[in-house]
Amino acid sequence: MRRIVVQKFGGTSVADTGKIKNVAKTVIHEKNNGNDVVVVVSAMGHTTDYLVKMAKDLSATPSEREMDMLLSTGEGVSIALLAMAIQAQGYDAVSFNAMQVGIFTENVHSKARILKIETEKLRKNLNEGKIVIVAGFQGVTADGEITTLGRGGSDTSAVAIAAALNAERCDIYTDVEGVYTTDPRVVPTASKLKSISYEEMLELAHAGANVLHPRSVETAKLNNVPLRVRSSFKIDDMGTLILGVDKMEIDRPVTGVAADLSQTRIVVLDVPDTPGQAAKIFSTLAKENISVDMIIQSYAKKETNTNDIAFTIDTSDKGKTLTTLDKLKSEIGCRDILANSEIAKVSIIGAGMIDRPGIASGMFETLSNLGINIKMISTSEIKISCLVDKADANKAVKALHEEFDLGSDVVADVKGDLPNV
């Protein structure tokens, strides 16, 4: 049986017709390797931003249905142009939107999840020898309504298609050469990872590394799709391979460092120390679709019999959070609610830190040596995050990158041979 490779190209890779020609070459190169190729593309350049701006010029609260109708048009342009560019090179290609393929999603606008992908049309066209091009980011409901998957969602379209077709791998082509130990713009000695596990990549994505749409990594993990992040401008560079942690040979405790500068800390002061208060606060926020990241409840103060509850949210949810909590204030009986956006969450990530003591203390000491105050701490099995002043974020990232020796070459490697890389 022929192998299927899914390739995804982001907006910068298809920003103009010259770049689209370049993408056509990369696609044809893969086809000439003897693989069946499905290509998923985003809208050209900043098209989606531009469409959003036009909508906001006309309405402060455009309807979500019409937003999806509007935003889904961006990908419609790039798929047809890419098909033409490939045909002009003498290869057979055909483009489809999500409705034509049958990329079914939930009935939710602006951030729908994919439920099912029909493979019949895709397979039929591949079997006829065609290169198949599919619009990313969009879906359709069972009732024939157009949906979108959320900004950056084309990565998820590509991985979901790869999973549905049982593809050999999914290559995400982008304007960076792979996944780095940290942001190379902040730390010039950052090194490119040869491989990283889904688990680490998910933590990195949530910690502020904007390489991949987090849901695409979740989908890849769930379906065991090998994912590659690679450069659209360096055809022979294999980039970074993302795969299961069980397939990795991990010899270092820390794989990456990231900073999230878009968090806001909320503190609810003097919450009466009675059962049900945290439940009230966080269930109300959840109902408003506000996700909360770090949470700390202080030790109860004897004199007042109250606690302080502090947590972080994405800064884009700050307005909504404050209005929601304000309504709850008298019901909780707290003294005040504070918000601070001049903070950053700095995280170290590594599957190798499991069962290895001293990693957290190494992080705290590094920050302490720089005189950086830690405002909150949270941990998972493979991540330690500290909340610090925003002004200290880059300094912290640099020092942690050095502390955990991430400037040298390969950080984690793969056990044995890899499938078709």
**Which residues of the shown chain bind Mg ion in the complex (CB under 5 A)?**
10, 152
Beta bridge partners of 344: 388
Residue 144 C-beta: closest distance to ligand ASP, Å: 21
Quote the least distance from Cβ 389 to Mg ion, whole Å: 29
256 binds, among ligand ASP, Mg ion, none (CB under 5 to 8 A by kind): none
387's enclosing H/E stretch is: strand 383-389
In whole angstroms, how close is the CB of 49 to ligand ASP at the nearest point? 7
Q: Tell me the number of residues near ligand ASP by CB under 6 A.
A: 12
Among Mg ion, ligand ASP, none, residue 263 binds (CB under 5-8 Å by kind)? none
CA angle 59, 153, 75 (to 5 degrees): 70
Contact 214, 205 (CB under 8 A): yes
Residue 184, C-beta contacts closer than 8 angstroms, at least 6 positions apart = 190
Which of ligand ASP, Mg ion, none sits in contact with 253, Cβ below 5 to 8 A by type?
none
Element (H, E) at 325: helix 318-332
> CB under 5 to 8 A by kind: which of ligand ASP, Mg ion, none does 136 bind?
ligand ASP
Cα distance between the two ends of the chain:
18
Rounded CA-CA distance 392/35 in Å is: 48
Nearer to Mg ion, 213 or 398 (CB): 213
**Residue 152 interacts with ligand ASP (CB under 6 A): yes or no:** yes
Residue 9 lies near ligand ASP (rule: CB under 6 A): no
Shortest distance in whole angstroms from residue 97 CB to ligand ASP = 13
Quote the least distance from Cβ 213 to Mg ion, whole Å: 7
Of 153 and 352, the one with the shorter C-beta distance to ligand ASP is 153
Closer to ligand ASP by CB, 48 or 255: give it.
48
**For residue 272, what is the enclosing H or E element?**
strand 263-272
* Candidates 145-153, 173-181, 360-368, 399-407; binding stretch for ligand ASP (CB under 6 A): 145-153
Q: Which among 382, 8, 21 is positioned nearest to 204, based on CA atoms?
A: 382
- According to DSSP, the β-strands at 292-297 and 227-231 are unpaired
Whole-angstrom Cα distance, residue 167 to residue 170? 7
User: Which one of Mg ion, ligand ASP, none is in contact with 74 (Cβ closer than 5 to 8 A by kind)?
Assistant: ligand ASP
Alpha helices in 192-248 (DSSP H): 198-206, 214-223
d(C-alpha 359, C-alpha 352), whole Å? 10
Long-range contacts of 57-65 (CB under 8 A, 24+ apart): 64/109, 64/110, 65/109, 65/145
Stretch that binds ligand ASP, among 40-48, 179-187, 249-257, 340-348 (CB under 6 A): 40-48
Is residue 239 a contact residue for ligand ASP (CB under 6 A)?
no
Matching residue, tokens 């065991």: 224
Q: 45, 139, 153, 362: which one contacts ligand ASP (CB under 6 A)? A: 153
C-alpha closest to that of 27 among 72, 101, 111, 92: 92
User: For ligand ASP, which residue of 5, 11, 132, 158 counts as binding (CB under 6 A)?
Assistant: 11
| ∠ CA 10-118-170, rounded to 5° | 35
- Residue 11 vs 226, nearer CB to ligand ASP: 11
CA 69 to chain CA mean position, Å: 23
> Nearest approach, Cβ of 135 to Mg ion (angstroms)?
14
**Contact region with ligand ASP (CB under 6 A), list: 42-50, 54-62, 117-125, 304-312:** 42-50
Quote the least distance from Cβ 102 to Mg ion, whole Å: 23
Give the helix ranges, DSSP H, for 89-119.
98-101
Q: Among ligand ASP, Mg ion, none, what does residue 226 contact (CB within 5–8 Å per kind)?
A: none
Pick the closer one to Mg ion by CB: 10 or 239.
10
Q: How far is CA 265 from CA 316, 319, 379, in A?
A: 12, 13, 17
Radius of gyration of the chain, Cα coordinates, nearest whole angstrom: 23
Q: CB of residue 76 vs ligand ASP: minimum separation in angstroms? A: 11
* Maximum distance among all Cα pairs of the chain, rounded to whole angstroms: 81
Site map for ligand ASP, 108-137, x if CB under 6 A? ----------------------------xx
Is 45 an interacting residue with respect to ligand ASP (CB under 6 A)? no
* Minimum CB distance to Mg ion smaller for 10 or for 226: 10
Contact call for residue 48 and ligand ASP (CB under 6 A): yes
Write out the residues near ligand ASP by the rule CB under 6 A: 10-11, 42-43, 48, 74, 136-137, 151-154
